[in-house]
Amino acid sequence: MSFIPKFEDVEAAMQLIAPHVHRTPVLTSRQLDAISGAHLFFKCENFQKVGAFKFRGATNAVMRLTDEQRAAGVVTHSSGNHAAALAHAAVSRGVKAYIVMPTSAPEVKKRAVAGYGAEITFCEPTLAAREAAAAEIIARTGATMIHPYDNFFIIAGQGTAAMEMLADINGADAVIAPVGGGGLLSGTAITTRHLAPGAKIYGAEPRLADDAARSLHSGTIQPALPPLTIADGLLTSLCERTFTVIKASVDDILTVAEEQIVEAMRLMWERMKIVTEPSSAVPLAAVLANRSLFEGERVGIIVSGGNADLSKLPFCQYA
């Protein structure tokens, strides 16, 4: 198996997971088209099982396990959406799921993971603590590590969202997805380069967590900044696997301010009547902040998830 998935691997993932995931809708909004000056197509993975695109990759990875691996279970470390996705994908297929979560993870995501039946281990909110806790579980149980994004089958599975979107909208001038660790953006890029080779591919990132943009512009992976952004799903750094795809296929990564993220999130709630989390509003924020780049274009936007903490909505804070 190669280090990087190809489009054929995304196709294989689609065939495997299609009976188990939702084919989420692509929504449009005349009001947001008028505000942006572009023709926007929102691939609504907030309607996916567990409320996020992560269920695609997690399902693909779990279904690729050998019988021996299934018997020992799976383990990961995640602040939320991947944790819930892996827990649901594994437990629903009779596979034990061990999830390492930082104590700082949103309460809504902690509750979701527990509700899917996973065994949760909490740790300090540092990468070192997360990795150490996962390593201890692997040593004790023999569980297979399913990394949130540094995983061949995860990336291939995430690419199926763009595959569905491009089929539904019949072509795009540009495609944009949020970027944290790069699994979604990598899968989106692999798929888009094959199905819409003339389309521009963009990542979108908070300015307070702009390590992916800095990495792309410098040519080497840059460390993440301290987690200051409200987009809690975009705090992780790229890995060599995702960075390899992004360097080869992504045209640019656009960054936005916190106020722009909140405004885009509010627009999606008010104008589209859909629940989105801050991370999934970042691509729309990037489109609105770069009107001249997208004006008149058909733009596919991956809406990554809808697991917002309803007790901590940011609208009033930035009003």
Could you tell me where the DSSP H helices lie in the chain?
7-17, 30-36, 54-63, 67-72, 81-91, 107-115, 127-141, 152-169, 183-195, 211-218, 240-249, 258-272, 278-289, 291-294
Flag whether the pTM goes above 0.85: yes
Enclosing domain of residue 269: 7-52+151-312
Pick the last residue of a domain from 112, 145, 178. 145
Task: Please give the Cα distance from 243 to 222 (Å, whole number).
Answer: 10
Task: Tell me, yes or no, whether 92 lies in a domain.
Answer: yes
In DSSP terms, which residues pair with 76 in a beta bridge?
A: 99
Which residue among 29, 78, 79, 304 is the active-site one? 304
Indicate if 54 belongs to the active site. yes
Q: Which pLDDT band holds residue 143 (cuts at 50, 70, 90)?
A: very high
Distance of alpha carbon 9 from the chain centroid? 18
Which residue among 43, 54, 109, 200 is the active-site one? 54
- Average pLDDT score, the chain: 94
Q: How many domains does the chain have?
A: 2
* Residues 305, 260 within the same domain: yes
Query: Look-up: residue for tokens 């699994």?
Result: 183
Indicate if 304 belongs to the active site. yes
What phi-psi label fits residue 170: left (phi over 0), alpha (psi between -120 and 50 degrees) or beta?
Answer: left
* String of DSSP letters for 30-43: HHHHHHHTSEEEEE
* Residues 40, 133 within the same domain: no
* Residues 125, 37 within the same domain: no
Polymer length in residues for the chain: 319
* Residues 141, 156 within the same domain: no
Task: Tell me, yes or no, whether 2 lies in a domain.
Answer: no
Query: In this prediction, what percent of the chain has a pLDDT beyond 70?
Result: 98
* Residues 44, 159 within the same domain: yes
- The model's pLDDT over 276-310, given as tens digits with 9 standing for 90+, comes to 999 999 999 999 999 999 999 999 999 999 988 88
Q: Count CB-CB contacts under 10 A for residue 205.
A: 28
Task: Please give the Cα distance from 239 to 199 (Å, whole number).
Answer: 25
Pick the last residue of a domain from 145, 164, 193. 145
Tell me the average pLDDT across 133-151: 96
H helices then E strands: how many in the chain? 14, 10
Task: Please give the Cα distance from 4 to 10 (Å, whole number).
Answer: 11
